[in-house]
Structure formats: structure tokens, C-alpha cells
Amino acid sequence: MKLADLSVTDFVNTLASDAPAPGGGSAAALYGAMGAGLTAMVACLTQGRKKYAEYAEFAAQVERRGNELKNRLLAVMDEDTAAFNQVSAAFALPKDTEEQKLARSAAIQAGLKACTLTPLDCMELAADAASLAWDLLDHGFNQSSASDLGVAFLSLSSALRGAWLNVLINLGSLKDETFKANARVKGERLLASGLKLSEEGYQKVLELVE
Amino acid sequence: MKLADLSVTDFVNTLASDAPAPGGGSAAALYGAMGAGLTAMVACLTQGRKKYAEYAEFAAQVERRGNELKNRLLAVMDEDTAAFNQVSAAFALPKDTEEQKLARSAAIQAGLKACTLTPLDCMELAADAASLAWDLLDHGFNQSSASDLGVAFLSLSSALRGAWLNVLINLGSLKDETFKANARVKGERLLASGLKLSEEGYQKVLELVE
């Protein structure tokens, strides 16, 4: 069963249990999906109001893009758990002969690469969503939803930082130095740009509501 | 239907829609529930391992308390939306006579108080969960789950800051100065203590996995 099909209660209970997955990686992807979703919600509530008529067309674009990012991030939530299960299955492979040992080791390394690429996808999508939420902050949006836009930025900050922890913990066990170096460069770039947007966005909203 | 009974996909889609609730307040409570849940998960995975045998008893206590906080925060998710709906219903009351106007205004103010108290509950529970996650970090825990504990701290940081935005936006429309002052003092105290724990906890985990 897909995680996205579980009820919210069952999802959080499974997260809290000793089931090895879902864990922090899928949680980070869900924070990303909720951040993109809240951005779409604020864009939606900015349309059809006389007071915000001048921003309506732009808000409609933000809503569409926010929903696309939300759907991609919901898919990443399940992809992260699938990648984790791939590594678990590799660890369970037989290791009696030299040939088996080599095949098992290769399968573990392939799984760990998947476990690194999935949170990098999460970071890329969350950074895009943070940029989208800033567009709304820059152009104009329904001020009654300021706290919702603020929570969107916080969600994206947690998605970025949480996915980055998952990249780092997998890099520790990977052997392919070129892959590791590329993943680190990409992750550090996304973290720096995305976190600046999401933390500054939150601060700006905090000033609006204080 | 309770939000907690929706599928994860339906919950996120409703969040993203122009349905006025759920919004950032319920999202913040869900981040809190996931933070407490991830703390329980790490405590759970610390038990039954020879390597961590000395922490097992303590981890069992953390697991129980984490699950209690998770369940309370899941309930707050629905309470937040119920409080929002209470205000919406009050705004829809008739305002033709002076008497109706007074009754409507009193109902709006009562609803806004509920909308302030619910995120304050969220902050209190999230601060407790951050303290619990620190207990695990201090005593010892299964290091393979370090990134999960890190994401727990990030979730609790977002829960605290997100709920605080919801307190602030409601204080802006409240008239009872004593209530406002008390809510502000309590919220600022919880934000300061809880945020220190959750951000420092995240930093400590980041150093472990880097």
C-alpha cells in the first residue's frame, strides 16, 4: 500500500512504530508537499477577491505550479520508502560465496545511491516551492492568509534540512567518490539557496503578523 | 469527517485547496505529531539491540511519552480546524439589530480566543516533545536513526514557529487585553525554550552525520 493512501492517523502511527520505514526521509517529503500545498492554498485564496484583483492572474499561475510541486513531493514520499526498502532487501541477500558477496555489496551500493538521489529530488522540489512562495510574497497575496504562507516557508525549510540529513547519512556508507562529490555539491547548493528563501520568507511573514 | 481520518493525499489536497480550513494551524499540529512520532520511533529502534542495551529501559519510557504527545498533537490538528470553523460560523451570524450585532461580536471574540488557545496547546506539546527528543540525544540512542531524530527536531521547530504565527495573527483581532497579554507571555516563553531545544538538537544531529 502506498503511504499516500494511508489515513493521516495510520501514517503517523506507522512513522512512530519500529517499522524501519517510513522514516525521516518520507517525513521530509511530506513537509515539502504540505509547503507547496499551502503555497497553492494562499494563491487560491488570493483569487476572486476584489481587493487582490491585480494579483489574480499571477496567483492562478502560482496555484497551478504549487499543485504540481505538491503532487511530485507526495510521490517522492513513497519513492523514499521504496529506496530504503531496496537497501534492506540488498542487506538480506546471501553472502556465502565470493560471487554472492560481490553481488550483495553492489546491490547495497545501488540502493544507497537511490537513497541519496531521492532526498536530493526532495530538496530540488522544495527549493522550487520556496521560490514560488517568495513570488507570492513579492507580488502580493491575501493578507488574511499570512500565517498560512509563513507555515508554508517553515514546511519547506524542514523539508530541505530534513532531506539534507538523509543525503548526508547515506553518503557516509557510499564508496563511489565521484557520485559522493557530485551529490554533496548539489545538496549544498540547494540547501544554501532554498534555506535562505524559506527562512527569510518566514521572517518577513513574522514581521507582517507581529 | 475528522482530518486525521482523511488519507494523506486527501489531507494535503484539502490543505492546498481554497477550503478555508485546514490551514497552517492544523499543519503545524501535524508537524508536532510527526516530530513526537519520530522521537517515539527512534526510542523504539533503540530497544532490543545489544549495542544499546544500557539505554533500553529509558528508551521505553521515551517511546511511551512520545506516543502520548503524538496522539495529543493529532487531536490538536482537528481542534485547530474546529476553532477556525467556530469563527467562520460566528461571522455568518445575523447583524440586523443592535442585539444581534453584540451577540455576533461576542461570538467572534470567543472563537478567536479558541483559535489562540489551540496553537498555544500545540506549542506546549511540541516543546515537551523537543525536551523528550533531547533526553534521547543526551542518554544515547540507535545511531543508525540519527537522521530520523534530526527530522524530529526540525518537525518540532516548524510546529512551534508555525503555531506561534497562528497565535499572533489571532491576537491582532482580539479585544481582551488581559487575555492577549497572557497569551503573548506564554507563547513567547514556549517559543524561546522549545526553539532553543529543537534547533540545537538539529545542529547536534547534523554534526553527528556530517
Reported as a single tens digit per residue, the pLDDT across A174-199 is: 999 999 999 999 999 999 999 999 99
Inform me whether the pLDDT recorded for B120 exceeds 80.
Answer: yes
Contacts of A184 by beta carbon, 8 Å cutoff, 6+ apart: A167, A171
- Residue A145 at interface with chain B, using a CB cutoff of 8 Å: yes
Which band of pLDDT confidence, cut at 50, 70 and 90, is reported for residue B145?
very high
Read off the pLDDT of residues A18-35 as tens digits, 9 standing for 90 and up. 987 899 999 999 999 999
* Nearest partner of B162 among B198, B133, B132, judged by Cα: B198
SS3 helix, strand, coil % of chain A, rounded to 5?
85, 0, 15
- Which residue reads 523528550 in cell numbers? B132
Q: Which alpha helices (DSSP H) does A7-55 contain, by range? A: 8-16, 24-46
Read off the pLDDT of residues B24-39 as tens digits, 9 standing for 90 and up. 999 999 999 999 999 9
Nearest chain A residue to B198 by CA distance is A158
Mean pLDDT of A99-126: 97
Best A151, A198, A200 member to test B by mutation, with max B CBs in 10 Å, is: A151
Contact state of B16 with A209 under an 8 Å Cβ cutoff: no
- Residue B23 at interface with chain A, using a CB cutoff of 8 Å: yes
Cβ burial, residue A210 (10 Å; 0-12/13-18/19+): exposed
Inform me whether the pLDDT recorded for B210 exceeds 80.
Answer: yes
Determine the pLDDT at residue B19: 87
* A205/chain B closest Cα distance in angstroms: 8
Determine the pLDDT at residue A21: 82
- Dist. CA A166–CA A185, nearest whole Å: 15
Contact state of A152 with B45 under an 8 Å Cβ cutoff: no
SS3 at position A2 = coil
Read off the pLDDT of residues A56-89 as tens digits, 9 standing for 90 and up. 999 999 999 999 999 999 999 999 999 999 999 9
Q: Which residues of A touch B148 (CB under 8 A)?
A: 23-24
Q: Which residues of B touch A27 (CB under 8 A)?
A: 34, 38, 151, 155
Q: Which residues of A touch B77 (CB under 8 A)?
A: 8
The secondary structure of chain B, three-state, reads: CCHHHCEHHHHHHHHHCCCCCCCHHHHHHHHHHHHHHHHHHHHHHHCCCHHHHHHHHHHHHHHHHHHHHHHHHHHHHHHHHHHHHHHHHHHCCCCCCHHHHHHHHHHHHHHHHHHHHHHHHHHHHHHHHHHHHHHHHHHCCCHHHHHHHHHHHHHHHHHHHHHHHHHHHHHCCCCCHHHHHHHHHHHHHHHHHHHHHHHHHHHHHHHHHC
Read off the pLDDT of residues B175-197 as tens digits, 9 standing for 90 and up. 999 999 999 999 999 999 999 99
Kindly state the DSSP code that residue A53 receives in the 8-state scheme. Answer: G
Contact state of A41 with B16 under an 8 Å Cβ cutoff: yes
- Dist. CA A210–CA A193, nearest whole Å: 26
Q: Which residues of A touch B23 (CB under 8 A)?
A: 38, 41, 145, 147-148, 151
Residue B187: count of CB within 10 angstroms of its CB: 22
SS3 at position A172 = coil
Determine the pLDDT at residue B1: 80
Determine the pLDDT at residue B128: 98
Nearest chain B residue to A45 by CA distance is B18
- Dist. CA B161–CA B152, nearest whole Å: 14
- Which residue reads 526553539 in cell numbers? B195
pLDDT, chain B, mean: 96
Min mean pLDDT across A123-127, A160-164, B29-33, B48-52 is at B48-52
* B206/chain A closest Cα distance in angstroms: 7
Q: What are phi and psi of B49, to 5 degrees?
A: -115, 130
- Dist. CA A24–CA A200, nearest whole Å: 24
Q: Which of A4, A12, A74 sits opposite B74 (nearest CB)?
A: A12
The pTM for the full model equals: 0.96
Q: Which residues of B touch A30 (CB under 8 A)?
A: 8, 12, 34
